[in-house]
């Protein structure tokens, strides 16, 4: 078994060799998910990102509108055919929003294969836990009509507390085309019908909403904010 601790989170600030704001192509060029006013620290083994209030928004495309700050690994991490487990401890705080509604403001661990559009995320608000399983509608990547988005919550393990760290894990098995979410050692959600074989993933630390764009544009920003904290980020193979 091989365990990779991707970042020790002790540099004081973002290690730019390990984390960069995600950029994706859009109809008007590249869209960056970095809020220049976000407060980011990496101390004593914990990375924290505070965006208060939320500022980034897009009035037409929800996958650009929702992320308020998203740092990702510059290079994808290979996933062997036998599979891998990605794990981290995470905590969330909400400001001036509805913490009982994950879509209003959440922090999470992104596990994404942007070469295929597949996303396997953990989501936390100050009071809720959820899993996000989706395929982004990336032009030239995702087949027409092939995108989807599912937010999963469990009535048994979905309750959270502000600032409380939860041990979150995602297990990917490319050969079986399966993904399994586990929190604090308890099964949370599993899918065995991943439409593609995921061979590598980009990891991300995200502060986000999950609101549809309305007839008048973005509905994701109304003065609320959130803080996420992450520690013990590891990739286990073998």
Domain that residue 112 falls in? 2-237
Structure tokens at 26: 């859009």
How many structural domains comprise the chain?
1
Candidates 126, 185, 122, 129; CA nearest to 158 is: 129
Higher pLDDT, 26 or 151: 151
Indicate the average pLDDT of the chain.
96
- CB within 8 Å of 144: residues ≥ 6 apart: none
pLDDT tens profile 161-178: 999 999 999 999 999 999
Residue 121: its pLDDT value, please?
A: 98
d(CA 103, CA 209): 5
- CB within 8 Å of 6: residues ≥ 6 apart: 18, 73, 77, 203, 233, 234, 235
Q: At 51, which CATH number?
A: 2.60.120.200
pLDDT tens profile 154-213: 988 888 999 999 999 999 999 999 999 999 999 999 999 999 999 999 999 999 999 999
- Are 229 and 91 spatial neighbours (Cβ–Cβ below 8 Å)? yes
């Amino acid at each position: 078994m091989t365990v990779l601790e991707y970042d020790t989170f002790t540099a004081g600030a973002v290690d730019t060799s390990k984390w960069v704001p995600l950029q994706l192509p859009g109809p008007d060029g590249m869209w960056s998910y970095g809020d220049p006013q976000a407060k980011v620290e990496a101390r004593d083994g914990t990375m924290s990102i505070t965006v208060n209030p939320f500022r980034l928004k897009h009035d037409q495309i929800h996958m650009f509108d929702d992320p308020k700050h998203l740092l990702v690994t510059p290079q994808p991490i290979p996933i062997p055919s036998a599979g891998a487990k990605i794990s981290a401890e995470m905590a969330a705080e909400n400001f001036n929003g509805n913490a009982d509604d994950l879509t209003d403001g959440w922090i999470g661990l992104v596990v994404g294969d942007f070469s295929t559009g597949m996303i396997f995320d953990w989501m936390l608000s100050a009071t809720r836990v959820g899993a996000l399983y989706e395929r982004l509608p990336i032009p030239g990547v995702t087949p027409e009509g092939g995108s989807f988005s599912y937010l999963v919550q469990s009535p048994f393990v979905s309750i959270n507390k502000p600032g409380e760290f939860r041990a979150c894990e995602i297990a990917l098995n490319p050969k079986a085309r399966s993904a399994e979410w586990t929190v604090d050692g308890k099964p949370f959600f599993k899918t065995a019908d991943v439409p593609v074989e995921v061979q590598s993933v980009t990891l991300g630390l995200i502060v986000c909403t999950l609101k549809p764009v309305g007839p008048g544009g973005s509905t994701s920003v109304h003065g609320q904010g959130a803080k996420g904290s992450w520690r013990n980020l590891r990739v286990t193979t073998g």
